[in-house]
Amino acid sequence: MKLRFALLALLMLSVLPAEAAENRGRFALVIGNAKYPDAEAPLKEPLNDARDFAAELKRDGFDVEVGENLTGDAMRRALEKLYAKIKPGSVALVFFSGFGVQSARQSYLIPVDAQIWTEPDVRRDGFSLETVLGEINSRGAGVKIALLDASRRNPFERRFRSFSAGLAPVIAPSGTLVMYSAALSSVVSDSGSDHSLFVGELLKEIRVPDVTAEDTLNRTRVAVTRASRSEQVPWISSSLAEDFSFTPGTRPAVAPVALAKPADPAPTPAPPPRKEPATVTSPAPVATVAAPTPSPAPAPEKPAAIAAPAPAADAPRDEAKIALALAEDPTVKSLNSKLAENPEDGGALYRRGQVYASKGAYALAIKDFDETIRLNPKDVEAFNNRCWTRAVVGDLATALKDCNEALRLRPNFVDALDSRGLVNLKNGQSKNAIADFDAALKMNPQLTSSLYGRGLAKQRLGLTAEGDLDITNAKAMDPDIVKEFAGYGIR
């Protein structure tokens, strides 16, 4: 059933001109975490990359703090020290190299002493990128930059997932520039060399004079993509309103030469939402195994105005407000641009549906999943996501059809079983709900949503002791599970 939606109010702070930001100070926190006891061996790249990147930032006028192999407490202190330095209008940069894990559609930076065995442990021991950027923004930073070389296969996810989910899109405040070393929901293996390809190319581009920071990162993306033969494609999100350069005092050329943009690799749909607990009370998606790249089916006509849909007329008022706020989100803007160029980009439609769903814009999410399925009638992930979203809004009959189709296309699809269990639970079909949750739990005993849902279904059938046991165990694994189901309209 997958999704636990976070309804996040976007923090909007006007960006001061670049000169004002630079005059109020440049502050950076650079972290390289390499020695994770749970890993088979220390990572070779993070420490060298962090040291070299910190040295470059110092040459560029940043006040830099460097942290190596930081525990949770040490990372917290380092972040607090950074927050304390920020003045209104200053520049704040966070660089992190190590392991990152996404949960509830947020990306978490993992300290070396993290004890992660279940998904809730990620949110307990990790540091949410959205939270870090939000705190930097609240301190008044005019330019906020986050550079993450953390899209690595890690030793933690295999304990509660059968795949590596990579990092999630970030809903960041205005005036923010974010870059991941790899595409959303994808991972790269540590090369075993002393430096990563991503940081190596980034350092080259930072030293190029007379370019903006945004151009620097775009040039880095192109260079990494070419060097890896499109096996590694960094992800960028920008909402900078003014030019800013890593090299102080430089200005971009009046007519910079346009970089040749390599052909984008085939779009990989963002993984479907999961329902693992979030740090807020609304549900938000967590990625699962990505579906095969959709092959657009012939369509009678191209949909008009799909690049920037208006809120549905019958959408609840608060959902309409969420949709309007999301129109300014850099991730949504980027996807809207792609869809303006190609309204039948199935991958972009799917990813935008994920963002809409994760923030509670359910009507818009369903529209995008509709279009994804129109383009590829065998997109099992889109069927499952649409089933879940329809279940949340109470459209149970069509939700059940979607889940059944997902399971027809992929028998024993654990997430679709979990979603259909929710549909049956909301529909009063307790025996069917128990059967679905049982099947899901056989494949993933850590799936707290199925465990809690099964407990509720058993209680409704009068199996009070068994139901209480399931609910107690689920709450022990995830204290927020009760709030999650309340968000689905189930108490």
pLDDT band at 249 (very low <50, low <70, confident <90, very high): low
pLDDT of residue 28: 97
pLDDT of residue 186: 85
pLDDT band at 105 (very low <50, low <70, confident <90, very high): confident
Instruction: Give the CB-side neighbour count of residue 394, counting CA atoms within 13 A.
Output: 3
For 344-357, how does the pLDDT look when each residue is reduced to its tens digit (9 = 90+)? Answer: 888 888 878 877 88
What does the alpha-carbon distance between residue 7 and residue 487 come to, in Å, rounded to a whole number? 11
pLDDT of residue 348: 81
Q: What value does the mean pLDDT of the chain take?
A: 80
| Residues with Cβ within 8 Å of residue 122, at least 6 apart in sequence | 101, 103, 108, 110, 116, 156
How is domain 317-487 classified at the CATH fold level?
Answer: 1.25.40
pLDDT band at 165 (very low <50, low <70, confident <90, very high): confident
pLDDT of residue 355: 77
Residue 253 pLDDT > 80: no
> How is residue 318 written in tokens?
């608060």
Determine the residue type at 432. N
Own/partner pairs, 121-127, CB within 8 angstroms, 24+ separation: 121/156, 122/156, 123/277, 123/278, 123/279, 125/72, 126/101, 127/75, 127/76, 127/79
Residue 435 pLDDT > 90: yes
Percent of the chain with pLDDT over 90: 49
pLDDT of residue 442: 86
Q: What is the DSSP string of 373-408?
A: HHH-TT-HHHHHHHHHHHHHHT-HHHHHHHHHHHHH
H helix or E strand, kind and range, residue 76: helix 72-85
Nearest to 178 by CA among 210, 217, 228: 217
pLDDT band at 1 (very low <50, low <70, confident <90, very high): low
For 303-360, how does the pLDDT look when each residue is reduced to its tens digit (9 = 90+)? Answer: 333 444 444 444 444 677 777 777 777 778 878 888 999 998 888 888 788 778 877 7
Domain boundary assignment for the chain:
18-238, 317-487
Residue 147 pLDDT > 60: yes
What does the alpha-carbon distance between residue 284 and residue 4 come to, in Å, rounded to a whole number? 3
Nearest to 366 by CA among 315, 432, 290: 315
What does the alpha-carbon distance between residue 464 and residue 297 come to, in Å, rounded to a whole number? 49
> How is residue 222 written in tokens?
């192109």
Q: What is the pTM of this model?
A: 0.52
Percent of the chain with pLDDT over 70: 80
For 78-101, how does the pLDDT look when each residue is reduced to its tens digit (9 = 90+)? Answer: 999 999 999 999 999 999 999 999
Query: What CATH class has 18-238?
Result: alpha beta
